[in-house]
């Protein structure tokens, strides 16, 4: 992962603690994968076993998995969801920092949290 330049952060030159914490958590994630996994072994009449489903070019693709693959993919899909959550939080924090440290005095209307996407 590329280190951030200290010049990018306003006041102290260091990333704020909240942002640094998110970066550390991000670095600890394991394998990631888009999609969802299903355990269909408990269905009556026999199930399709384990499945991984995702979108490829707008089409839904489903792949059968072994029990071991299911376990690993379940972890990877959960990690992907955490990754997206961390990135959303980092984005919101970045926007707060940018607009707080670089005000736009000529603006007639105050920017709302909704407009800035930091709600």
Per residue in 46-96, pLDDT (tens digit) is 667 899 999 999 999 999 999 999 999 999 999 999 999 999 998 888 888
Q: Are 36 and 80 in contact (CB under 8 A)?
A: no
User: How large a percentage of the chain has pLDDT more than 90?
Assistant: 45
109 pLDDT tier (thresholds 50, 70, 90): confident
User: How large a percentage of the chain has pLDDT more than 70?
Assistant: 81
Provide the domain count of the chain: 1
From the CB of residue 40, how many other CB atoms can be counted at a distance below 10 Å? 12
Dihedral angle of Cα 104, 110, 115, 119, to the nearest 10 degrees: 110
Decide if 19 is inside a domain.
yes
Pairing between strand 36-39 and 50-56? antiparallel
Decide if 1 is inside a domain.
no
Decide if 70 is inside a domain.
yes
Nearest to 38 by CA among 48, 25, 28: 48
Q: Are 36 and 70 in contact (CB under 8 A)?
A: no
Pairing between strand 50-56 and 59-65? antiparallel
As beta bridge partners, residue 38 has 51
Specify the pTM.
Answer: 0.73
- Quick one: pLDDT at residue 44? 66
- Per DSSP, the three-state class of 90 is helix
Task: Write out the residue range of the structural domain in which residue 58 sits.
Answer: 6-116
């Amino acid at each position: 992962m590329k280190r951030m330049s200290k010049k990018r952060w306003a006041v102290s030159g260091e990333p704020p603690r909240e942002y640094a914490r998110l970066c550390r958590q991000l670095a600890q994630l394991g394998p990631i994968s888009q999609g969802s996994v299903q355990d269909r072994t408990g269905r009556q009449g026999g199930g399709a076993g384990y499945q991984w489903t995702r979108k490829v070019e707008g089409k839904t693709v489903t792949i059968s998995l072994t029990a071991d693959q299911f376990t690993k993919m379940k972890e990877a899909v959960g990690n992907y969801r955490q990754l997206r959550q961390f990135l959303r939080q980092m984005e919101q924090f970045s926007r707060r920092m940018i607009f707080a440290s670089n005000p736009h005095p000529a603006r007639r209307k105050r920017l709302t949290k909704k407009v800035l996407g930091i709600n």
